[in-house]
A and B are shown apart, each in its own frame.
Chain A
Amino acid sequence: MSTPPSSSSAPIPTLASPGMRDAADDSDSPPSHMSEDSDGSGAGPGGDTWTPDLRGTNGGNGGNGGRWAPPDQVLENVLESVLEFLTAARDRNAASLVCRSWYAAEAQTRRELFIGNCYAVSPARAVQRFAGLRAVVLKGKPRFADFSLVPNGWGARVSPWVDALGPAYPRLQRICLKRMTVSDDELALIPRSFPLFRELSLVCCDGFTTRGLAVIAEGCRHLRVLDLTEDYFHEETEVVDWISKFPECNTSLESLVFDCVSVPFNFEALEALVARSPALRRLRVNDHVSIEQLRRLMARAPHLTHLGTGSFRSEPGSSGASSVSDLATSFAAAAKSLVCLSGFLDVNAEYLPAIYPVCANLTSLNFSFASLTSEELIPVINHCVNLRVFWVLDTVGDEGLRAVAETCSDLRELRVFPLDATEDSEGSVSDVGLQAISEGCRKLESILYFCQRMTNVAVIAMSENCPDLVVFRLCIMGRHRPDRVTGEPMDEGFGAIVKNCKKLTRLSVSGLLTDKAFAYIGKYGKLIKTLSVAFAGNSDMSLQHVFEGCTKLQKLEVRDSPFGDKGLLSGMNYFYNMRFFWMNSCRLTVKGCGDVAQQMPNLVVEVMKDHPDDEGEVDTVDKLYLYRSLAGPRTDAPEFVNIL
């Protein structure tokens, strides 16, 4: 059933290929256990040891006339114990393809299952193959759902998975979900099905409320990690005091992240919880936590490594408002352990100097929700000499980025978000800032940069100064905007990036781009796994360049570009090697998509229309989402989704 995948032809997809890994995840937050290439926690030796049984079917050390295990059995047992050491899914996928016995041994010993597209395989099939899972990572909706491009009700409900995993893996410890719909009832299944449950991580999920959180808190007695990151939390009718539901004895909590759960909660309960959680190292609170409350929490948790500071503002009308030096004392006490600081959700800039005592030790700083001017930010930046990850709003300005370039020579990841995410906003950073960063932060590996003005020269400079770039995402917010100095398209800039940054695996392009840019991408972007295209290119040749050239392409997202059926068809030979292809607001027709669906049986081709009741427009396709799948067309598609 398994065939070794060849790099060029389209193999019959096996369970191995949908699990094929992609590196840098597009998760918007530091925790990287959503990435396929990471080793995953708890799955390696020492974390969860499994000792092979070399004694054969009868127990006992040779006593009671115990039989020796037959040679094949021994070999298999040895194999299983060796495979134990393989943790990365890519390695495991490769091992499983060697031969039948390796396949079986691997299936027995895989501890973490990564499924990049929840519709690529049925839960039953996964359960059938893998006997001993301890952790499951599932991703659901396409990434463009984050930008309101996927209508509500599209799918990615976790219920079929929870229903299947429950009976199959009573020892399951960890569930990580990204872009899936999780209801409170489904959350309630977790403590019931998995008595040893330890870690729940929900990223960009929706559908649950504080009621579901309460069930988790109360039911999962061994909970170590509860991470809620950028989930869509709707206002509820009645907020449940979920924090009070944690066990009253000392807990095993190591990480509690709930900054996106932006409803009031019982602070005293949280303070008490923190006080009885000696293992707590990561705490990120929501914006209903004031400076005074933050200080109390910090006093209770002196060994925190990751802190989300909440509002970073004094309680309004508070008589006992903390002074800046009081707050600085709190931070000084935390200086030895704190390496990651975030929050600042409603920051009062006057309090910023309080964090100076920890800045020198910080490796990660997230100011991306803090509207601070460059004058307010630069003094902080100047203290952060060891920074590796910096997220900030574009109010930092080119001058602020210059300060980063001068101070943070070790910077690996930079993200500059727009304060005003509209096309014609002022935009406070430009090519000047990018150039400065490229000159000062030579070890840069990942950049996400929103701006209004850019030049090819600056992008080329970055390509030359930062050869270690793995992720390059540039968003020039004005559509079709050319080089601000020369008026030329941005082709040469992006061309230089793909040419000079030989480790590049993820690329997002923007600005005025012609087919030439895509010719460059196809020619040089040999390691690119994820490509995002918007408002770019002039003809279907662009897509053809990409499909033919980017041999490692896994995920392709395209919007609002002049590509039609011809471009789509040029990818025919490559779709089985990819996880998915998304295309919206281009020039596709139902016929073209239908042709693809017909010729490729293991591909699910979903098309959606924005206004299904428009007459005379039956032929056009507004949204196309196609993905390889062993499960066939899904049965839970809503009526606005047409599976061809």
Chain B
Amino acid sequence: MEDAEIRKRRGVCSTALLLNWVGRTAEQDQEEEEEKTLELSLGLPGGGRRRTACREKGKHPAVDGSVDLSLGYSKVVPNSQVHTSGWLDLRVSRKGLDGLVLQLPDCFSSDNLNLFGSLMAHSKANGSPEAVTRNALAAPNNNSSRTRSPGAPVVGWPPVRASRRNLASSSRAALEQQNVKKAVKAEETKRAPFVKVNMDGIPIGRKIDLNAFNTYEKLSVAVDKLFRHLLAAQRDPRTEECPPEEVAISGLLDGTGEYTLVYEDYEGDRVLVGDVPWGMFVSSAKRLRVLKTSDLSSSLITSNRKRTAADC
């Protein structure tokens, strides 16, 4: 999950796709073959699985296994869909002007299913990310070719009664509060982005001001200081004496430590910290996470690092 995202992020900087998958039968797949389709290949997390069969799709073979989404145009020949272990073929077809519908072939089984239901993205063809998201969300779940108008909000969802809608904006106090919060937020994003930092396994999060640092090293030290105590308290308060022994949290940036620092950008993608220039990082990071390195595949991290070095 995180793997898939991170891998995806590495290779294809500007493209990805919102998946809103709906199961369809094989017959329906065949009807679609004449339509223009975008094809997507998504690897399962857990690292390093490669395609073991070649497809007749023509374009965009996966770049060495551990990869990225590749987008392109091709005709899909239904009968040639080979379903190998670990790989799923996702076909995206266009419905109407702007809508995108994603269908999974019926032959996938939930045993193999380990992917995020929603990866944020935008495609070059359709412009802004928001538009695609909305359009995909607006895609119909029935087999009529009539779609909801793109961008239309879903009626009655989430299911709260009318008296509970607009609670955030209805009361005077809430309105004031909101205005104050908005003003503060606007200020914050302009000058000092306080970002939340959450560590795996620790329910309490922290906030730090990225502008207070100017290198990744300093950031790493700060994160260590913030969470060192909490981590120790978490370890086993009953058996350890108090104060429990505090262990420095190291190796956050290079994958050598027990934990690794990751950030989420405004599109919701998760990216390893340390790869982009500092200034770019500060302006794009929305929040930070300290994840267990073991949850991320180690070969993944090193291979990604190599690629990044090569790209730059």
Task: Report A's interface with B, CB cutoff 8 A.
Answer: 28, 144, 146-149, 204, 230, 232, 260, 313, 345-348, 368-369, 371, 393, 398, 402, 417-423, 432, 450, 475, 477-482, 485-489, 491, 512, 514-516, 534-535, 538-539, 559-562, 564, 585-588, 614, 616-617, 619-620
Contact = CB atoms under 8 A, between A and B. Distances in A.
A478 B20 CA distance: 11
A587 B146 CA distance: 12
Nearest to B108: A538
Contacts, number: 140
Interface band, chain B: 35 or more
Given A561-B141, A586-B142, A620-B142, A423 B158 contact: yes
Contacts of B159: 144, 146-147, 475, 534
B79 interface: no
Contacts of A560: 141, 154, 157
B226 interface: no
A479 B203 CA distance: 25
Interface string B102-145: 00001000100111111000000000000000000100111110
18 contacts: A144-B156, A148-B155, A232-B162, A371-B177, A421-B164, A421-B167, A423-B154, A477-B157, A489-B110, A489-B117, A534-B157, A560-B141, A560-B157, A562-B22, A564-B143, A586-B142, A587-B142, A617-B144
Interface string B23-43: 110000000000000000000
A475 B106 CA distance: 27
B1 A422 contact: no
B116 A482 contact: yes
Interface in B157-177: 157-165, 167-168, 171-174, 177
Contact of B158 (A368, A393, A450, A588): A450
B110 A514 contact: yes
A-B interface, 7 closest residue pairs, ranked by CB to CB distance from nearest: A147-B156, A487-B1, A538-B23, A587-B142, A512-B117, A477-B158, A487-B116
Contacts of A204: 161
A421 B203 contact: no
Interface in B172-187: 172-174, 177
A417 B115 CA distance: 29
A622 to B, nearest CB: 9
Contacts of B106: 539
B168 A146 contact: no
A303 to B, nearest CB: 29
Nearest to A614: B146
Interface string B178-204: 000000000000000000000000010
A401 B146 CA distance: 44
B203 A432 contact: yes
Contacts of A480: 20-21, 117-118
Nearest to B23: A538
A620 B144 contact: yes
B225 to A, nearest CB: 22
Most buried by B among A345, A369, A491, A619: A369
B20 A587 contact: no
B273 to A, nearest CB: 19
A313 B173 contact: yes
B150 interface: no
Contacts of B168: 371, 419-420
